[in-house]
Amino acid sequence: MPATRNAMQTESVRSVLFITLSNIGDAVMTTPVLQALHDKYPQAVIDIVTDPRSSQLFRHCPWRGNIILKHKQAGWRGLAALVKELRAIRYDLVVDLRTDGLTLLLRARRRLTRCGCRSAGGHAVERHFCVLRHGEPPPASPPARVWLSAAEYDFARQALAGLPGRCWLALGPGARGEAKRWPADRFNALARQLQPHFDAIILPGSADDAGACRQAAAGLALPCRMLAGKTDLLQAAAVLQQAALFVGNDSGLGHLAAAVGTPTLTLFGPGDPQRYHPWHANACWVQGASGDVADVSVDEVLGEAQALLPA
């Protein structure tokens, strides 16, 4: 009888609102919960509230409904307009991973938020999953993911055309904030040490990362493909999927790489790598002493990178 009652409850959930996070890496780490929601309520249409910066990540999710943008800088008028838009639907379930009070203003049969949750682990993904528990057995956590279309795969093929071999190293020397940036000349020294193991080097990132990418690639014997500022998020993910290994700073690129199954090595300065490392079975990290990424040596990164090299 309890199983039947649970099945009826599952079947009755047809409309879900999922409120995700803003930064690229943070949003990627909410996708395991989104996948779990779909697995539990396969008939439900899931609308997603997200920041304009990270909205691309959900563009090709095959079972999503509407993508609703939350503009953090829009003030009270923007919030009022967002609430009005969301209140047009009475949702069967609202799942809020942001918990800024928005959920309380919406029409919903049931609400799940972080309030009162106890996480079974220290990682951000595990903390997100505690929202789904609320008295129920903890679900198995799927991997983080992004959904790509044929257009992104075509872009990656064209962007990487002409590179020799198939064993490529992706480097991410950029990051938001100097405190997160391992010196670009050390990326260059690392790449020189790793050259015998790879056929070419890929350097993705934002336009702001172009200078660091050029420094990291300076004088290398291997062919380098400079892509900083030349991709959107999904195109970058498709490019990273072609790499055998990604080594980069604590930024969204590492999370994108992990979400498409590429082994990652993340260099941390400030922050908590136990909580924020990319969610992937082959995700490793190195952290500088006292939270200073400049304390990380090339030899230390080299050792970790060699452990992740393809057989």
- For the chain, the domains span 2-133, 150-307
Structure tokens at 6: 């649970």
pTM, rounded to two decimals: 0.92
Average pLDDT on 117-145 reads 75
pLDDT of residue 275: 93
Average pLDDT on 100-107 reads 85
- Which one is the CATH code of 150-307: 3.40.640.10, 3.40.50.720, 3.40.50.2000, 2.60.40.1840? 3.40.50.2000
pLDDT of residue 203: 98
Sheet holding 111-112, edge to edge: 64-69, 45-50, 15-19, 93-96, 111-112
For residue 292, pLDDT over 80 is answered with: yes
Residue pLDDT, tens place only, 159-175? 999 999 999 999 999 99
Instruction: Select from 39, 61, 261, 40 the least CA-distant residue to 48.
Output: 61
pLDDT of residue 71: 86
pLDDT of residue 44: 95
**Measured between alpha carbons, how far is 191 from 194 in angstroms, rounded to an integer?**
5
Residue pLDDT, tens place only, 228-265? 999 999 999 999 999 999 999 999 999 999 999 999 99
For residue 287, pLDDT over 60 is answered with: yes
Are 200 and 168 a contacting pair, CB within 8 Å? yes
**Number of residues that make up the chain:** 311
Residue pLDDT, tens place only, 186-225? 999 999 999 999 999 999 999 999 999 999 999 999 999 9
**Measured between alpha carbons, how far is 196 from 268 in angstroms, rounded to an integer?**
26
Beta strands, E only, the chain: 15-19, 45-50, 64-69, 93-96, 111-112, 168-172, 200-203, 224-226, 245-249, 264-268, 283-287
For residue 2, pLDDT over 60 is answered with: no
Average pLDDT on 82-94 reads 93
Mean pLDDT of the chain: 91
Q: What is the CATH number of domain 2-133?
A: 3.40.50.2000
Average pLDDT on 110-130 reads 82
3-state percent breakdown (helix, strand, coil) of the chain, nearest 5: 40, 15, 40
Average pLDDT on 276-289 reads 93
How open is the CA angle 21-24-25, to the nearest 5 degrees? 90
